[in-house]
Amino acid sequence: MKERKEVMGLTWLKMDLGIEMVSDTPGTVTNPSDINQWQANQLPHPLLGMEVTDKGIAMLEQYVAAVRDAVGMEIPLSMDHFGHLGVKSIIRLGKAYEKYNLSWMEDVIPWMYTDLLKQISDQSPTPILTGEDIYLKEPFRVLCESHAVSKIQPDLATAGGILETHKIGDLAEEHGIPMALHFAGTPISCMANVHCAAATRNFLALENHSLDVPWWQDLVNEIDKPIINRGYIAVPDTPGLGVTLNDDVMRQHLASGVGYFEPTPMWDTKQSFDDQLFS
């Protein structure tokens, strides 16, 4: 984290810190003994009866304290992947993390439990965020109108595209709620996010999962490199998204068994999987 701040020059940091980091230590989790990993992966968090203990909270807090020691208090720091914890455990963690001034705790329970998110938001001094698995604007309206979360984070590539994500941002703005953007993809989708973010007043930060992928920015041409420069991406003034495909590099990194611009009938069948329920 310190390197990302000081060497890369990032202006917002996010870390994963879940109960699995400490659950191997005795006394950190209260957990029904007959819940195994398979069952945990089949049921939403509130249905499992898993709660963190004081010892577990203290151990998790040590990680956050160490990160804040390394990066300081000035830079925004967000947190994700808490694990299958109950509502009260999340509230207790939110209180324990208060002194570290986290920007948000993300997807602490599945997004569709509006009332439970509202309960967490009302009682946790650490802000709550959700949105990366939500399709279209309407579910965001429910969350924003009830102020069940402090911040939202749609994924432009799955929420409905540039215009829909812009509408989601505008909707949240009306309720005084800022919008971060979830993103884990190619520079093409990244630039779609950049254009949307640049036109949305309540934009906070754009996620990126490819900071350690050396060929990521080589997938496109005709844009100034590095694309991410000291934590910022310049908005292109060239046509379209502002990038062109680098066909050679694209071909080098296709998924196995997939051709370049070949038909994709495997996507013709409607599929869905809500990661929120199980992660």
For the chain, the residue count is 279
Q: Which is nearer to Mg ion, 179 or 241 (CB)?
A: 179
Question: Which alpha helices (H) appear in 129-199, and where do they start and end?
Answer: 138-145, 156-159, 161-174, 187-198
Q: Which is nearer to Mg ion, 143 or 243 (CB)?
A: 143
Tell whether residue 133 is a contact of Mg ion (CB under 5 A).
no
CB 104 within 8 A of CB 76: no
Q: Which is nearer to Mg ion, 124 or 276 (CB)?
A: 276
User: Min. distance of Cβ 153 from Mg ion in angstroms?
Assistant: 7
CB 32 within 8 A of CB 235: no
User: Min. distance of Cβ 16 from Mg ion in angstroms?
Assistant: 8
Tell whether residue 155 is a contact of Mg ion (CB under 5 A).
no
One-letter amino acid at 257 equals: G
Tell whether residue 207 is a contact of Mg ion (CB under 5 A).
no
User: Min. distance of Cβ 131 from Mg ion in angstroms?
Assistant: 9
Alpha-carbon Rg of the chain, whole angstroms? 20
Residue 210 CA to its chain's centroid (Å): 14
User: Min. distance of Cβ 180 from Mg ion in angstroms?
Assistant: 10
Distance CA(267)–CA(269), nearest Å, equals 5
Q: Which is nearer to Mg ion, 64 or 107 (CB)?
A: 107
User: Min. distance of Cβ 26 from Mg ion in angstroms?
Assistant: 29
Q: Which is nearer to Mg ion, 80 or 178 (CB)?
A: 80
Q: Strand, coil or helix: what is 181?
A: strand
Tell whether residue 80 is a contact of Mg ion (CB under 5 A).
yes
For Mg ion, the binding residues (CB under 5 A) are: 80
